[in-house]
Amino acid sequence: MKITMIGTGYVGLVTGTCFAEFGHHVTCVDKDEEKIKTLLEGQIPIYEPGLDTLVLKNTREKRLTFTTALADAVAVADAVFMAVGTPSSRRGDGYADLTYIFEAAREIAPHLQGYTVIVDKSTVPVGTARQVARIIREVNPAADFDVASNPEFLREGAAIADFMHPDRVVIGLESLQAENILREIYKPLYLQETPIVKTDIETAELTKYAANAFLAIKISFINEIALLCDSLGADVVSLAKGIGMDGRIGKKFLHPGPGYGGSCFPKDTLAMMRIAQEHGQNLRIVEAAVEVNAAQKAKMVKKIRDMLDGSEAGKTIAFLGLTFKPETDDMRDAPAITIIPALLEKGARIKAHDPQGMEEARKYLPQGIEYAQDAYETCKDADAVVLMTEWNQYRALDLDRLMEEMQGRIFIDLRNVYEPQKMKEKGFIYAGVGRS
Ligand code: UGA
């Protein structure tokens, strides 16, 4: 199959590369000349484990190419995937900004030749694919095409594995011709019997939002339960095991922490709430999850303050990890962006380290943070250490060395990486989330 991917952001780049790895011929198009140049030179603008090797391999084998020339790429394609950004609108009302999607539709339309499926990969409000179809028809009434929705469920940091071994593939479409093309594209997954869930277009669009909203709810639920565990002296990790082994609940996404972040859950929960409101409904459980998530970050600030005897002023706090999760350099909506400035404002001295995210972090965090080379340098003279992101590098710290470097003994583990009892035995004043 000949596939053209519009947009070389996170989703476009990973999806395009993995399709090429499946054996298809993929052209990734982007308007950003600098980015295309970088990609052609074999450099990857984002940090995603395994992606560089796969890009290099498929570029060498001539199944993957990058260009700014949209017209030629669209003309030869069996399927054009749209993977452009849908950020929250600048109005701050939670709606997804569809400017890039509609712009892409207008640009694709005149160049379509022969039958083509236009596939929405971006997370878009229900009805967007139909609007895309309307735009294409307006611009090029003679075009022979169908639209489809094929939402992605990739996690940053694990995107290649998620793509190659998905739990399911959702395709929303209305024509057999489009279905045949999409089934052909995903054919390599048949070997591992990946289920393909075929729906109408609107259902596929909504499925994506519902999946992310459900996961966000699950995290907010366990975060609230963790706070209750803190109050009652119960242990949330054992509790999560106790409920998670029930197949109806499932053990994944029951890890409490400083609140979910990233480019998806915060944006998609808000967008879904707005979609529902437009249709006269309130998604009260989603609204609660969003509120709980904001409160969780504030509660983490309080937890740190309480551990420092009620005041962070003049104290040195060492942050291990800044990104919203490990194995990414992404700082979008990372809890660190809320928690660190709140402490800095009240006069704390902040030192920080992140294995991949420090360059990005500088763009999101205020001046005045001291960035260190490694975990131990970060903890030097610290009154308290806050383990913010569960990078592997922080999972087996040399605790004796850490304690030697520190001035105090407080260890606040916002990801519950360490065992409370062992930390206490080592001499730390330890707090996890829901592990009292
Ligand atoms: C999420 C979804 O997991 C993907 O399925 C989806 O495709 C993607 O959004 C998207 O819409 O593009 P991602 O944001 O990359 O993926 O990361 P997750 O692994 O889901 O983590 C999101 C946030 O939840 C992180 O801040 C993480 O620390 C937090 N989290 C996750 C918890 O606090 N506890 C958990 O148990 C799991």
Residue-wise pLDDT tens digits, 4-61: 999 999 999 999 999 999 999 999 999 999 999 999 998 999 889 999 999 999 999 9
Q: What pLDDT score does 378 carry?
A: 98
Domain at 213-431: CATH code: 3.40.50.720
The domain segmentation of the chain, as residue ranges, is 2-199, 213-431
Partner residues linked to 387 by β-bridges: 320, 413
Residue nearest to atom 1 of ligand 1 (CA): 155
Atom of ligand 1 nearest to the CA of 154: 7
Q: What mean pLDDT do residues 94-110 have? A: 92
User: For residue 311, what are its two tokens?
Assistant: 């005041």
What is the distance between the alpha carbons of residues 263 and 289, in angstroms, rounded to a whole number?
A: 16
Backbone φ, ψ for residue 311 (5° rounding): -150, 135
What is the distance between the alpha carbons of residues 431 and 100, in angstroms, rounded to a whole number?
A: 45
Residue nearest to atom 36 of ligand 1 (CA): 253
Residue 93 clears pLDDT 90, i.e. is over it: no
Residue nearest to atom 17 of ligand 1 (CA): 155
Å from CA of 71 to ligand 1 middle: 35
Identical topology for domains 2-199 and 213-431: yes
Residue 425 clears pLDDT 90, i.e. is over it: yes
Q: What mean pLDDT do residues 362-380 have? A: 97
Handedness of CA 55, 56, 62, 66 (dihedral sign): positive
Any atom of ligand 1 within 6 Å of the Cβ of 152: yes
Amino acid present at 241: K
Q: Kindly write down the DSSP assignment for every residue of 89-147, as one continuous string.
A: PTTSSS-B--HHHHHHHHHHGGG--SSEEEEE-S---TTHHHHHHHHHHHH-TT--EEE
pLDDT digits (tens, 9 = 90+) for 329-347: 999 999 999 999 999 999 9
Atom of ligand 1 nearest to the CA of 219: 34
The question of whether 18 is a catalytic residue gets the answer no
| pLDDT tier, 290 (very low <50, low <70, confident <90, very high otherwise) | very high
Q: What pLDDT score does 208 carry?
A: 96
Higher pLDDT, 125 or 361: 361
Atom of ligand 1 nearest to the CA of 157: 15
Amino acid present at 208: K
Atom of ligand 1 nearest to the CA of 10: 12
For a ligand 1 pocket test, name from 156, 218, 252 the mutation site with the most ligand atoms within 8 angstroms of its C-beta: 156
Å from CA of 253 to ligand 1 middle: 8
200, burial (CB in 10 Å: exposed 0-12, middle 13-18, buried 19+): exposed
| Alpha-carbon distances of 222 from 120, 238, 251, rounded to whole Å | 33, 12, 11
Residue 90 clears pLDDT 90, i.e. is over it: no
Q: What mean pLDDT do residues 93-121 have? A: 93
| Alpha-carbon distances of 410 from 46, 67, 329, 413, 433, rounded to whole Å | 34, 52, 27, 10, 14
| Alpha-carbon distances of 164 from 139, 158, 183, 189, 418, rounded to whole Å | 36, 10, 15, 7, 32
Any atom of ligand 1 within 6 Å of the Cβ of 332: no
What is the distance between the alpha carbons of residues 142 and 403, in angstroms, rounded to a whole number?
A: 71
Q: Which of 18, 28, 229, 264 is catalytic?
A: 264
| pLDDT tier, 97 (very low <50, low <70, confident <90, very high otherwise) | confident
Averaged pLDDT of the chain: 96
Q: What pLDDT score does 95 carry?
A: 77
Any atom of ligand 1 within 6 Å of the Cβ of 254: yes
| pLDDT tier, 134 (very low <50, low <70, confident <90, very high otherwise) | very high
Q: What pLDDT score does 87 carry?
A: 80
User: For residue 368, what are its two tokens?
Assistant: 């005045």
Q: Which CATH class is domain 2-199?
A: alpha beta
pLDDT digits (tens, 9 = 90+) for 170-217: 999 999 999 999 999 999 999 889 999 999 999 999 999 999 999 999
Q: What pLDDT score does 376 carry?
A: 98
pLDDT digits (tens, 9 = 90+) for 387-414: 999 999 999 999 999 999 999 999 999 9
Q: What pLDDT score does 89 carry?
A: 76
Handedness of CA 394, 399, 402, 403 (dihedral sign): positive
Å from CA of 415 to ligand 1 middle: 14
pTM of the shown model: 0.95
